[in-house]
Amino acid sequence: MANILCIGAGFVGGPTMAVIAKHCPEHRVVAVDINAAKIAAWQSDHLPIYEPGLKEIVLSARGKNLFFSTEIERHIAEADIIFVSVNTPTKTFGQGTGKAADLQYWEKTARQIVESSSSSKIVVEKSTLPVRTAEAMERILNSNEKGLFFDVVSNPEFLAEGTAVQDMQNPSRVLIGGRQTPSGQKAVQAIVDIYAHWVPRERIITTNLWSSELSKLAANAFLAQRVSSINAIANLCERTGADVTEVAHAVGTDTRIGPRFLRASVGFGGSCFKKDILNLVYLCEFYGLNEVAAYWEQVVRMNEYQQASFVSKMVTAMFNTVAGKRVAIFGAAFKAHTSDTRESPALAVCRKLLEERAHVVITDPYALESARADLHDVAEQVIFEPDPYAAARDAHAIAVATEWPQFAELDYAAIYETMVHPAFIFDGRNILDHKALYDIGFNVYAVGKPPLTHFESSNPAS
Ligand code: UDX
Ligand code: UDX
């Protein structure tokens, strides 16, 4: 039996510990957090995050071998293995502002581990961290005067929101990096043994510490780069008459490339992609690799361009002004099936439309509360409307910013009747039936496709 602790019971720490507890009934698993309200929520029937399948797992293990607590010192003292998944946001001050990871919570946690420990332990980096953070952590942890030794292991998470439990239960791979010393290898093996309870051994990859830390940043950079690549091609499609869905299909059927993450869009969002790429950029600059840094930075720049060009396309199409016009944004979440709006392109579109002095109404099935919090500085200029039909009423345009499947199921003929004419639809996720919308009377602009408009100067559908 081992005592497993996780410091940071957030989006990553909570689901990770729940799944470990489910599959390792002989271990005692505790998740602690400085946020008492969050811990109270983990102990209640209203968990602090929604992920499909999570509640069932938490309810079946909680009180048996899964516990949530704010007593950080006590649980550190009792633990054999400590996962750390506190947040590592982008720095907003000082050296590396806007790019480097802010490691203050990590360092504070490391010092707290040393202070509260009276036995040697394994410390697992679960948060995404810059390469070689483990080295700094080892120094802080092992410069204690108690004669204790801490092995630092890297075990990055690859959970996507909306599928976190599934990703954890059936991972494409688990990555565990450690020192090549006997003690380091023993620590790696201890973490391998946890995952081997439910993950086939061939999917558990062990590497050196630095490869593991870097692989996490590289994986997110590659995923984001695919989205920026297809969005770059989408811009060219709009100028040349090519259709980005057809191009993505043709490109993605090459088995060397593969079909996933090639959906052209108004841009990628979420808490990880931008943060991790900028972190990678900062690392490259730190090592004097300025060309490498510029290469990866362009993935983020392309994403910003994509959001800006979407709004600029709207303004141009709507006779060069949206000032005073009601515009309904369909979707606030950064992707479908989540209430998370962090770095959501929908909110970027909202802000840009406000700058153009449009009257913005935003609708979303789950993310309006979070959108209101993120848009707090401009919230009095925005209408938050849960009903998409009400949002579109009297609007000049609809902009689809999140790929919620329910947006494709709406009665657009009825919506068209309630809108100001000529009515526009800008489909930033390519989820609607564009020909059907055109036939209803809409002027339709998708991403990476020729527009379908009823104006004489443009090419109508044929
Ligand atoms: C975060 C990072 O965004 C991600 O890069 C990293 O891989 C893991 O941590 P996430 O779990 O989504 O991911 O963050 P969040 O939901 O904010 O959870 C972090 C938790 O740590 C919060 O609940 C916060 O209260 C807690 N925390 C933070 C502590 O318990 N102690 C601290 O000192 C700081
Ligand atoms: C991502 C990684 O997938 C995950 O492995 C990592 O641990 C955390 O970051 P997540 O941010 O939850 O997960 O979302 P993801 O599904 O990767 O989508 C990111 C963004 O890219 C979303 O805004 C999504 O709408 C967008 N996207 C994705 C596209 O625009 N086109 C695509 O083809 C795929």
Taking the C-alpha atoms of residue 136 and residue 143, their distance in angstroms, rounded to an integer, is 11
Q: Which atom of ligand 1 is nearest to the CA of 216?
A: 7
Residues 212 and 154: beta-carbon distance below 8 Å: yes
Nearest partner of 159 among 243, 291, 320, 51, judged by Cα: 51
Q: Is the CB of 85 under 6 A from ligand 1?
A: yes
Helix axes 209-240, 290-317, angle to 10 degrees: 30
Query: Quick one: which ligand is closest to 299's CA?
Result: 2
Provide the H-helix boundaries in 241-344. 244-252, 273-286, 290-317
Q: Is the CB of 159 under 6 A from ligand 2?
A: yes
Helix axes 54-61, 13-23, angle to 10 degrees: 60
Residues 35 and 114: beta-carbon distance below 8 Å: no
What pairing do the DSSP bridges indicate for beta strands 204-208 and 443-446?
unpaired
Going residue by residue through the chain, which has 462 residues, state the pLDDT in tens, using 9 for 90 and above: 999 999 999 999 999 999 999 999 999 999 999 999 999 999 999 999 888 999 999 999 999 999 999 999 999 999 999 999 998 888 889 988 888 888 888 899 999 999 999 999 999 999 888 778 888 889 999 999 999 999 999 999 999 988 999 999 999 999 999 999 999 999 999 999 999 999 999 999 999 999 999 999 999 999 999 999 999 999 999 999 999 999 999 999 999 999 999 999 999 999 899 999 999 999 999 999 999 999 999 999 999 999 999 999 999 999 999 999 999 999 999 999 888 999 999 999 999 999 999 999 999 999 999 999 999 999 999 999 999 999 999 999 999 999 999 999 999 999 999 999 999 999 999 999 999 999 999 999 999 999 999 997 655 444
Nearest partner of 266 among 350, 324, 370, judged by Cα: 350
Query: Quick one: which ligand is closest to 48's CA?
Result: 1
E strands, 112-155, are: 121-125, 150-154
Q: Is the CB of 265 under 6 A from ligand 2?
A: yes
Q: Is the CB of 388 under 6 A from ligand 2?
A: no
Q: Which residue has the tokens 């982008």?
A: 90
Q: What is the residue with the minimal CA distance to atom 17 of ligand 2?
A: 160
Q: Is the CB of 11 under 6 A from ligand 1?
A: yes
Q: Is the CB of 263 under 6 A from ligand 2?
A: yes
Q: What is the residue with the minimal CA distance to atom 7 of ligand 1?
A: 127
Copy the structure tokens of residue 54: 């999570």
Taking the C-alpha atoms of residue 146 and residue 404, their distance in angstroms, rounded to an integer, is 55
Q: What is the residue with the minimal CA distance to atom 33 of ligand 1?
A: 105
What's the confidence (pLDDT) of residue 342? 94
Nearest partner of 126 among 144, 152, 148, judged by Cα: 152
Radius of gyration of the chain (CA): 24
Element (H, E) at 328: strand 326-330
What's the confidence (pLDDT) of residue 462? 42
Taking the C-alpha atoms of residue 168 and residue 22, their distance in angstroms, rounded to an integer, is 11
Q: Is the CB of 161 under 6 A from ligand 2?
A: yes
The pair phi, psi for residue 140, each rounded to 5°, is -65, -45
Q: How many CB atoms lie within 10 A of CB 192?
A: 19
Ligand 1 pocket test target in 51, 87, 158, 339 with most atoms within 8 Å of CB: 87
Q: Which atom of ligand 2 is nearest to the CA of 429?
A: 30
96: left (phi over 0), alpha (psi -120 to 50) or beta: left
Q: Is the CB of 272 under 6 A from ligand 2?
A: yes
What's the confidence (pLDDT) of residue 460? 43
Q: Is the CB of 266 under 6 A from ligand 2?
A: no
Q: Which atom of ligand 1 is nearest to the CA of 8?
A: 21
Q: What is the residue with the minimal CA distance to atom 26 of ligand 1?
A: 8
- The C-alpha angle 446, 452, 453, rounded to 5 degrees, equals 125
Instruction: Compute the distance from residue 384 Cα to the ligand 1 centre, in Å.
Output: 28
What's the confidence (pLDDT) of residue 134? 86
What's the confidence (pLDDT) of residue 128? 82
Taking the C-alpha atoms of residue 308 and residue 367, their distance in angstroms, rounded to an integer, is 22
Taking the C-alpha atoms of residue 53 and residue 318, their distance in angstroms, rounded to an integer, is 44
Instruction: Compute the distance from residue 239 Cα to the ligand 2 centre, in Å.
Output: 27
What's the confidence (pLDDT) of residue 461? 45
Taking the C-alpha atoms of residue 196 and residue 190, their distance in angstroms, rounded to an integer, is 10
Nearest partner of 328 among 288, 286, 383, 282, judged by Cα: 383
Query: Helix %, strand %, coil % for the chain, to 5?
Result: 45, 15, 40
DSSP structural state of residue 90: B
Instruction: Compute the distance from residue 8 Cα to the ligand 1 centre, in Å.
Output: 5
Judged on CB neighbours under 10 Å (0-12, 13-18, 19+), 105 is middle
Report the amino acid identity of residue 431: I
Which residues belong to the active site?
272
* Residues near 263 by beta carbon (within 8 Å), at least 6 away in sequence: 227, 230, 248, 403, 429, 430
